[in-house]
Amino acid sequence: MHTAIHITHEAAKKIGGIGSVLSGICTSESYLKFYDKTYFYGPLFDDNIDQKDRLGSNAKILFSSLDKIYNSSYDNEFNELIERYHIDLVYGQKIIFDEIHPEKKSTIEIILLGIKNIRKDLLDIFKFQLWEIFKFNCQLYETDWDFEQYLRIALPLRSILSIVSPNSSAIDYFSHEYMGVCSCLSILKDKKANERLFFYAHEVSTARVIVESHQGHDISFYNILQKDLGKLSLEERFGSQKHNSRNELIKYAKYFDKIFAVGNWVEKEYKYLVPDTEPQKIIITYNGIPINEIDYQHKLESRAKIQQYCNNLFNFTPDIIMTHVTRLVISKGLWRDISLLEQLDKYFHDNHLKGFFILLSSQIGTGRESSDIYKMEDNYGWPIWHKENWPDLVGYENDIFWSVNYFNAKSKNIKAVFINQFGFTQEQTGQRIPEDTKFSDLRIASDAEFGMSIYEPFGIAQIETVPYGGIAVLSRACGSSFLLENVWNKSQDKPFHIIDFAGNSSYSKDYFHLNSDERTLIEKEILKKEAKSIFNKLPKTDNDRKKLFEVCINLSSGLEWESISKNIFKEDL
């Protein structure tokens, strides 16, 4: 029996990108043929939540020391383990689905640990072993609970696996980013012949921190990286990052069997941080997307809904629909959207075309209540107009709204709306949306999805409109840009436009000292040059749109999880 253990913060609930990766990979045919059993393993973040929410949706609790549930075949062993380590344990089964094709599903097992009261003597011994064997100094990070909780779940891991999976012929441990490194080190110190350790590099967290904090962002960082690679390391250039526990943890992935890098830049970033990593250990493992199989009529119907929404907001029917669905964080480079729209507006005006841009993004992970949305809509015309403070604008949302508002005040042929909410239905996003509209309509209707991030290890959202005939307008910083090139490498018609902000920079000074004003000028200069090519790619007639739709349908299977997965989970893994 071949067993997989995924160590992650999204073991019970899908929070972000890692959850999407897990649901995509673990329901793929290639994965299910490769692994007989899958476990998700992580900390129990909140022991006060309602019992039914402990393992998320579509889950059944079989054992819970918190809730006195004893319905598993391991009850006695679990109770002994709880007594030995002074922990709480929740164990159960969960059905995970492909997001688009619910018939593609898999039953996985989840183990969550409550480790607040774990035995200090055993923990101290483990910390000493990490120092003695790996020279990892846990004492530097003991006040950092994010570090400490992932350290603590490592302590009983082998004991737990001996209970739930004693007869596995092979066990693969997946550390998703830094979160599973301590667990993998607990295995590595007495690793068996049938065990393998994989580091899933969804990003290189140190690179993200530097890109986001440096005034030159990706333009500085990737130019410096390209110059330094093979000569200077990241810490030799930018200084020691030892204060960051994540930085120190991910360095140990060089001792694992394989490192899965979700993009070409991630591979280079890891080599930049850890130059002595054996090159053959790193394999580029792109992410995939779920794809809904539709016909062109379906696209036209979705398009009509978004056109009607624009009409309800701005009193015009757009010729071209542009979108950006994203998290509201600095790495997404949203100011670049506005700069590009300013350039595109001139071409739209000269060609008598009308455009509608929807930015769907929020800092509130749970979204806003429908009642609040309806009140804001009625009281002051949300989402055309916004007001600062809850339940409307919070934090960075305020800056985004004023940028959009300023653009709308100047633009002639393109109007933009900032929807600071998750979802795209009438219930979630207001009564001006046509009644039967779904989030999928927004993806299907889009003629272009923006994604000019400054740091984007892969970027699933950037390519979600491509299978339905939408152009991806993304930066070279996005790992998905390389996947698009691979899939469409032999096709003359390419449904994407990649902007290489770092590679096309004409800056002649030291990139290390590039400031924000200089970087902004570089960005605007590049976008001014790129705008015409982007405009030319946009479908302007129904014939253009149908042709692009057909181009995308023919090759989009290469973006699906099934295509990605079969290149990973094979005999020579």
Residue 42's identity, in one-letter code, is G
What value does the mean pLDDT take over residues 218-233? 97
Whether 191 and 300 map to the same domain: the answer is: no
Q: Tell me, yes or no, whether 236 lies in a domain.
A: no
Encode pLDDT of 127-141 as tens digits. Answer: 999 999 999 999 999
Chain centroid offset of residue 325 CA: 12
Encode pLDDT of 158-205 as tens digits. Answer: 999 999 998 888 999 999 999 999 999 999 999 999 999 999 999 999
Q: Residue 22 pLDDT more than 80?
A: yes
Whether 77 and 195 map to the same domain: the answer is: yes
Cβ pair 276, 251 in contact under 8 A: no
Q: Residue 101 pLDDT more than 90?
A: no
Q: For 7, what's the count of Cα atoms within 13 Å in the CB-facing half-sphere?
A: 29
Q: Per DSSP, what are the bridge partners of residue 437?
A: none
Q: What is the CATH number of the domain that holds 367?
A: 3.40.50.2000
pLDDT at 41: 98
pLDDT at 342: 98
Cβ pair 515, 215 in contact under 8 A: yes
pLDDT at 123: 97
Q: Residue 500 pLDDT more than 80?
A: yes
Q: Which residue has the higher pLDDT, 97 or 497?
A: 497
Whether 323 and 191 map to the same domain: the answer is: no
Whether 395 and 535 map to the same domain: the answer is: yes
Q: Tell me, yes or no, whether 259 lies in a domain.
A: no
Instruction: Out of 187, 202, 217, pick the residue that ends a domain.
Output: 202
Task: Tell me what percent of the residues of the chain surpass a pLDDT of 70.
Answer: 100
CA-wise closest residue to 288 among 555, 24, 519? 24
Q: Measured between alpha carbons, how far is 299 from 118 in angstroms, rounded to an integer?
A: 55
pLDDT at 355: 98
Whether 183 and 327 map to the same domain: the answer is: no
Whether 197 and 300 map to the same domain: the answer is: no
Q: Measured between alpha carbons, how far is 137 from 383 in angstroms, rounded to an integer?
A: 50
Buried b (16+ CB within 10 A) or exposed e, 184-200: bbbbbeebeeebbbbbb
Q: Tell me, yes or no, whether 176 lies in a domain.
A: yes
Q: Measured between alpha carbons, how far is 557 from 440 in angstroms, rounded to an integer?
A: 18
Q: Tell me, yes or no, whether 349 lies in a domain.
A: yes
- CA 9-148-331 angle, to 5 degrees, is 50
Instruction: Out of 202, 230, 255, pick the residue that ends a domain.
Output: 202
The 3 state secondary structure assigned to 485-520 is HHHCCCCCCCCEEEECCCCCCCCCCCHHHCCHHHHH
Q: Tell me, yes or no, whether 256 lies in a domain.
A: no
Could you tell me the sign of the dihedral formed by the alpha carbons of 537, 543, 549, 554, in that order? negative
Whether 357 and 502 map to the same domain: the answer is: yes
Q: CB under 8 Å to 390, separation ≥6 — which residues?
A: none
CA-wise closest residue to 449 among 435, 429, 467, 424? 467
Q: Which domain holds residue 545?
A: 296-556
Total structural domains in the chain?
2
What value does the mean pLDDT take over residues 420-431? 95
What value does the mean pLDDT take over residues 112-122? 96
How are beta strands 37-43 and 195-201 bridged, if at all? unpaired
Quote the DSSP letter at residue 141: G
Instruction: Out of 149, 171, 202, pick the residue that ends a domain.
Output: 202
Q: CB under 8 Å to 465, separation ≥6 — which residues?
A: 323, 443, 444, 446, 448, 449, 471, 472
Cβ pair 177, 200 in contact under 8 A: yes
Whether 314 and 420 map to the same domain: the answer is: yes
pLDDT at 289: 93
Encode pLDDT of 333-356 as tens digits. Answer: 999 999 999 999 999 999 999 999
Whether 180 and 301 map to the same domain: the answer is: no
Q: Tell me, yes or no, whether 104 lies in a domain.
A: yes
Mean pLDDT of the chain: 95
Whether 316 and 183 map to the same domain: the answer is: no
The pLDDT-based confidence of 16 (bands split at 50, 70, 90) is confident
Q: Tell me, yes or no, whether 252 lies in a domain.
A: no
Cβ pair 202, 174 in contact under 8 A: no
* DSSP codes, 74-140: THHHHHHHHHHHT-EEEEEEEEEE-SS-TTSEEEEEEEEEE-TT--HHHHHHHHHHHHHHH---GGG
What value does the mean pLDDT take over residues 370-376? 96
pLDDT at 439: 95
Q: Measured between alpha carbons, how far is 508 from 296 in angstroms, rounded to an integer?
A: 48
Phi, psi at residue 195, to the nearest 5°?
-115, 140
Q: Tell me, yes or no, whether 411 lies in a domain.
A: yes
The pLDDT-based confidence of 505 (bands split at 50, 70, 90) is confident
- pTM for the predicted model, two decimal places: 0.95
pLDDT at 427: 95
What value does the mean pLDDT take over residues 70-90? 97
The pLDDT-based confidence of 88 (bands split at 50, 70, 90) is very high
pLDDT at 491: 85
Whether 364 and 510 map to the same domain: the answer is: yes
Q: Measured between alpha carbons, how far is 363 from 386 in angstroms, rounded to an integer?
A: 15
The pLDDT-based confidence of 15 (bands split at 50, 70, 90) is confident
